[in-house]
Structure 1
Amino acid sequence: MGIRDLSTPRLTLREPVDRDAGSIAAAWQDPAIQRWLGVPVPSDDLSAQRYIDSIVSPGWANQSVFTWSVIDRGELVGLVWVDAILEGVGRIGFWTSPEHRGRGIITEAAACVIDACFSPDSPLHRIEWRAFAGNVASAQVAQRLGFQFEGTLRSGAVGRQGREDEWLASLLASDTRSPGAWPETVLPS
């Protein structure tokens, strides 16, 4: 797919490169990122460089994982990726560094990625969002993007704390992307 370089009016999305390793490693120090994502703990520039070399670059090469650095005013502020790509379905994930949260950056970046993944030259027709149950911040982004909540997969994922329930939502290329109602057990009013 020709979606390696994307942009919005305020953001640039591009493949992570070697110079991004330090910023990625710094963000991985955040306890929330460590809790909700499978990042290396402890992590350092070398572990971030290994991620770029072993996941990002091969993923683009074999079209199995697409990862973008989210750049705002010249600074890497987060990552968005679509992985588990198989038979027209992919799974979106994202994080924002703590000091850049609450500004709509990741919602804007993820919407741009979704537009690209649902473009006519893309083979994707469904994108799934999954998160450990309790990751309300991620659920709020998914809801704003128009994902429809499908349920909780009991003991559906393995995290640092062992088996955990996992929330699942999806977005189809044909969906309107209007935020829908999600259960109060996921997103309390």
Structure 2
Amino acid sequence: MTAPLAGPSLPVLGSRGMLTALREGDVDRVLEACTTPAAERWLETPVPYRRADAEAFVREFVPAGWRGEHDERVWAIRESLHGPLMGVLGLREGSVEVGFWLHPEGQGRGLMADAVRAAVGHADGCLTWPEVRWACYVGNTASMRVAKAAGFSYLGVREGLHRGVPEQQHHAVRPSSGEAPAEALPWPDLG
């Protein structure tokens, strides 16, 4: 096991896994996850995604956030403390938003909804955010399922930008009170 880089000193525990610091040894898993067709379609990562991008993410971007050099704190999602990277989850303070992705090996097992619940619950106890927001591009049903399972209230579709091109986005929010906001709508059918 490689040593963790700058990040949280203690894991945040969920019922299916935990949130930890990223490690140097996670570079290959980040590269694998961010070069899938789904990642190229839905994430705001470079296309094509190269090894240098994964190295910069793990070695520079993530530690810089934990040092306070930008407003995003990123955790690794693992099933056990010494287990492989299954995904990442970030909380962005400026936009009060959660973002996430899973490695293909971790998909379809409830890991992400558990990780989002753990991170948002942790944020409720550590931050003064009145709510946490989430958004995804229209068509990203997997991300919508996670937000719904993690207790977010659906707010509808709004215009957004994806790689500089206008594209509609689904939006949801999870107030720290746990109560659905007045403007909440029924979740669309997620088949």
Query: Which category describes the TM-score, using the shorter chain as reference length?
Result: 0.7 to 0.9
Distance 1:4-1:90 versus aligned 2 partners, 3 A rule: farther
The residue correspondences of 1:1-189 to structure 2 (distance < 5 A) are: 5-62=11-68, 64-73=71-80, 74-83=83-92, 85-86=93-94, 90-119=96-125, 121-154=126-159, 156-159=160-163, 162-176=165-179, 182-184=186-188, 187-188=189-190
Q: Is the 8 A contact 1:80 1:110 kept in 2?
A: yes
TM-score (norm: length of structure 2)? 0.83
Distance 1:98-1:182 versus aligned 2 partners, 3 A rule: farther
**RMSD, aligned α-carbons:** 2.2
Q: Is the 8 A contact 2:65 2:72 kept in 1?
A: yes
Distance 1:17-1:167 versus aligned 2 partners, 3 A rule: same
- Aligned mates of 1:123, 1:54 — CA distance in 2: 27
Distance 1:166-1:3 versus aligned 2 partners, 3 A rule: farther
List structure 1 runs of 4+ shifted beyond 6 angstroms: none
Q: Is the 8 A contact 1:59 1:65 kept in 2?
A: yes
TM-score (norm: length of structure 1)? 0.84
Partner AA of 2:106 in structure 1: H
Q: Is the 8 A contact 1:82 1:92 kept in 2?
A: yes
Structure 2, unpaired ranges of 5+: 1-7
- Considering fraction of residues, name the structure with more strand: 1
Distance 1:49-1:166 versus aligned 2 partners, 3 A rule: same
- Aligned mates of 1:111, 1:126 — CA distance in 2: 13
Number of matched pairs:
178
Partner AA of 2:163 in structure 1: G
Local SS of the residue matching 1:76: coil
Q: After the TM superposition, which of the residue ranges 94-103 and 39-48 deviates more from structure 2? A: 39-48
